[in-house]
Structure 1
Amino acid sequence: MNLSFFDQFTSPSLLGIPLILLSVMFPALLLPTQNNRWITDRLSTLQSWSINLITKQLMISLYKGGHMWFLILTSLMTLLLMINLLGLLEYTFTPTTQLSMNLALAVPLWLATLLTGLRNQPSISLGHLLPEGTPTPLIPALILIETTSLLIRPLALGVRLTANLTAGHLLIQLISTATASLISTMPMISLLTLLVLFLLTILEVAVAMIQAYVFVLLLSLYLQENI
């Protein structure tokens, strides 16, 4: 029984062929394409407004030198948002519950921000490893601690996104299972758990949106330190 709760996190496959790439690319197919009309439809207008809002929120904390990253950050935010929200539907798979995928997104982007800082301002980037005014005996320990905290950032990004989405999906499945089991024996308790399930679903929608924003926001903050 316990294994069945984790079946939803198993990567789907067809005839032995993994379908996780299709799960990642499918949300992008749902986005409306731009056309040459003077007046666009409501869905395209909503999409443009959302992208402009996301871009503004991400770029407001960056210096002008980091604005060239807007396309990567906005695209990543849109991708994570679509995947997280579509993963709440039944009979779907959420790729962002896989730690391997989240690390595959976090490590290269974090490394790109680090290499950007080492290329453009190496002294300032390396200076973050040692706070100003540190006593001489504490210098080796602080350098070791700061280096560890720097290297653990991509792992923290991936684990945070994976843990939050996995916990929410497990809670939804556990409560929905309890609701279905109690409906024949204790209908009043089943209605109560159904209400809890409804509230939890709303919370999970908010978590899916917030975690996508936090993932990209932290990347933008790492970029801010290196430009």
Structure 2
Amino acid sequence: MTLSFFDQFMSPVFLGIPLMALALSLPWILFPTPTARWLNNRLLTLQGWFINRFTQQLLLPLNVGGHKWATILTSLMLFLITLNMLGLLPYTFTPTTQLSLNMGLAVPLWLATVIIGMRTQPTAALGHLLPEGTPVPLIPVLIIIETISLFIRPLALGVRLTANLTAGHLLIQLIATAAFVLLPLMPTVAILTSIVLFLLTLLEVAVAMIQAYVFVLLMSLYLQENV
């Protein structure tokens, strides 16, 4: 029996136990813990340099009030990159292909930025709903449109991450299946297909990192409007 291509996106279950919790807790085990020594090894030094550079780049456009989110945003970046990269390994599962998980990350963080804006600067936060200099007849229409666009933001965050990863994994599986089918029939075409598969895998590695960065970057831009 031929399984569906979308079976790879189903949440795995082992002995009736969902493995989603294991997949979500595994990334934190893979990162080495910094020590109190004066000098660390190369891996810890490289990890610390990457985290510092990313945090500086992320907090550059933010006000001082947004710097409190440095730990949350940097941890989210490392978490998403690790989940996306581990999902490219054979016989693994990518939790970020589940829309429920991505929405579970996007909605609370987006809602926190909105609540912070309403609490610290309510006039400026509500001012985003109505551009300056709007004609009076267009005020109700623009308020409705801006409100809808505000509530679409977390949906766009979750759907963007889910769609990009799902499309990439599905395309890899389609091309891999074509290569296996063509190998006994047309070996030359199968080799060319395998080369395309290798290049697509490299592209998917880049997409896994870029999508994690885009998710956190958009979240920082939403935070910038409210601090």
Which TM-score bucket, shorter chain as reference? Answer: over 0.9
Going from structure 1 to structure 2, the CA distance change for 1:39 and 1:214 (only over 3 Å counts) comes to same
2:37 is the counterpart of 1:56: no
Distance (Å, rounded) in 2 between the aligned partners of 1:172 and 1:49 = 33
Q: State the 1:2 CA deviation.
A: 7.5
Structure 2 residue aligned with 1:183: 183
Structure 2 residue aligned with 1:223: 223
2:212 is the counterpart of 1:212: yes
Following superposition of structure 1 onto structure 2, how do residues 66-77 of structure 1 map, counting pairs within 5 Å?
Answer: 66-77=66-77
Dislocated runs of 4+, deviation >6 Å: none
Distance (Å, rounded) in 1 between the aligned partners of 2:106 and 2:213 = 14
Structure 2 residue aligned with 1:7: 7
TM-score (norm 2): 0.98
Distance (Å, rounded) in 1 between the aligned partners of 2:4 and 2:37 = 49
Instruction: Count matched residues.
Output: 227
Q: State the 1:37 CA deviation.
A: 2.2
Which moved further from structure 2: 34-43 or 159-168?
34-43
Distance (Å, rounded) in 2 between the aligned partners of 1:83 and 1:53 = 21
Following superposition of structure 1 onto structure 2, how do residues 73-84 of structure 1 map, counting pairs within 5 Å?
Answer: 73-84=73-84
Distance (Å, rounded) in 1 between the aligned partners of 2:47 and 2:12 = 29
Distance (Å, rounded) in 1 between the aligned partners of 2:187 and 2:56 = 48
Q: State the 1:116 CA deviation.
A: 0.2
Equivalent residue letter for 2:101 = M
Equivalent residue letter for 2:111 = L
Q: Structure 1 stretches of 5 or more lacking a match?
A: none
Distance (Å, rounded) in 2 between the aligned partners of 1:2 and 1:219 = 41
Structure 1 residue aligned with 2:166: 166
Q: CA RMSD in A?
A: 1.0
Q: State the 1:3 CA deviation.
A: 4.8
Equivalent residue letter for 1:162 = T
Following superposition of structure 1 onto structure 2, how do residues 1-227 of structure 1 map, counting pairs within 5 Å?
Answer: 3-227=3-227
Percentage identity across aligned positions? Answer: 68
Distance (Å, rounded) in 1 between the aligned partners of 2:139 and 2:120 = 25
Equivalent residue letter for 2:27 = P
User: Could you list the per-position Cα deviations for residues 33-89 of structure 1 after superposition, in whole angstroms to 9, with x for gaps in the alignment?
Assistant: 111222211111111111112111211121111001000000000000110011100
Which moved further from structure 2: 214-223 or 35-44?
35-44
Secondary structure at the counterpart of residue 33 of structure 2? coil
User: Could you list the per-position Cα deviations for residues 151-176 of structure 1 after superposition, in whole angstroms to 9, with x for gaps in the alignment?
Assistant: 00000000000000000000000001
TM-score (norm 1): 0.98
User: Could you list the per-position Cα deviations for residues 103-158 of structure 1 after superposition, in whole angstroms to 9, with x for gaps in the alignment?
Assistant: 00000000000000000000100010000111111011000000000000000000
Distance (Å, rounded) in 1 between the aligned partners of 2:91 and 2:53 = 31
Distance (Å, rounded) in 2 between the aligned partners of 1:103 and 1:180 = 36
Equivalent residue letter for 1:220 = S
Secondary structure at the counterpart of residue 4 of structure 2? helix
Secondary structure at the counterpart of residue 152 of structure 1? helix
Q: Structure 2 stretches of 5 or more lacking a match?
A: none
